[in-house]
Amino acid sequence: MTAVAGIGVVALLGVGAYVGFGGDDSGKGEASVAVKDDGPHKLVAPKAVFGGYRQVKGMTSAALEEPASFGVRGAKTVQAVYGSDRGAKALSAGLIQFTGAYGTIDTPEKTVDAMFADLAAKARKPGKGGEKSTMVGEPKDFGTDGAVVKCQESRIEDPNTGAPEGPKVVHVAMCAWADRSTAAIVMPVDTRDAKAGKPASLDDAATTTQKLRKEVRVKR
């Protein structure tokens, strides 16, 4: 198995395997946050973001399945994985996994809640490599002007890391945003902290998510 910073790719990117979004109706009710409609926007996957993170060749994030079930009407999907470096060191310091959709969204908070409910449901199923994922606690609100943004910790246990020095448990932060025309799940990982088994910072993940939204969301 290919390893990333001493952590099996399945463990580190295992979340990507279940960010498939087989939709359901498990949102948490009507939206309580009013999000202003600033006109139709779409999502793009530029070759680089933040000036230094570049798309990783041969690696991609799973696309959203049935985004209409999450309240994204007329949806088109966009996804990418960005690494902090190039070549064999592409993920040496960090990665950003991004998968989203754009169309028309009536209730952004309900869309975000439904995505997290789906993540939790999929996390209860063991991964193909035997890894187990758990969504810890409840999504924390990091709302910003123009969008609903929430983040939650995911705890991934992988008995097959393939590296004795690697941790058996990896902590990552999962974030989701939705506005009136775009929605996405973002998984930013500091691979050095993950390798050390350190907990993920929801505050840092939320900041990264908000910055990424500004770079990948453009007017139609």
Question: What tens digit of pLDDT does each residue of 71-127 get?
Answer: 999 999 999 999 887 665 666 678 899 999 999 999 999 999 999 998 888 888 776
Using CA atoms, how far apart are residues 165 and 176, in angstroms rounded to an integer?
32
User: What backbone torsions phi and psi does residue 69 show, to the nearest 5 degrees?
Assistant: -70, -15
Its sign, for the CA torsion 189, 196, 91, 94, is positive
Q: For position 168, what pLDDT does the model report?
A: 76
Q: What is the pLDDT of residue 56?
A: 87
pLDDT bucket at 3, cuts 50 / 70 / 90: very low
Q: What is the mean pLDDT of the chain?
A: 80
CB 56 within 8 A of CB 101: no
Q: Which amino acid is at 40?
A: P
Which is nearest to 208 in space by CA: 18, 49, 66? 49
What is the 8-class DSSP label of residue 199? Answer: P
Query: How many other CB atoms sit within 10 Å of the CB of residue 118?
Result: 25
pLDDT tens digits along 38-87:
999 999 999 999 988 899 887 777 777 789 999 999 999 999 999 887 66
Q: Report strand pairing: 182-190 vs 94-105.
A: antiparallel
What is the pTM for the complete model shown? 0.82
Question: Cβ of 74: how many Cβ atoms within 10 Å?
Answer: 11
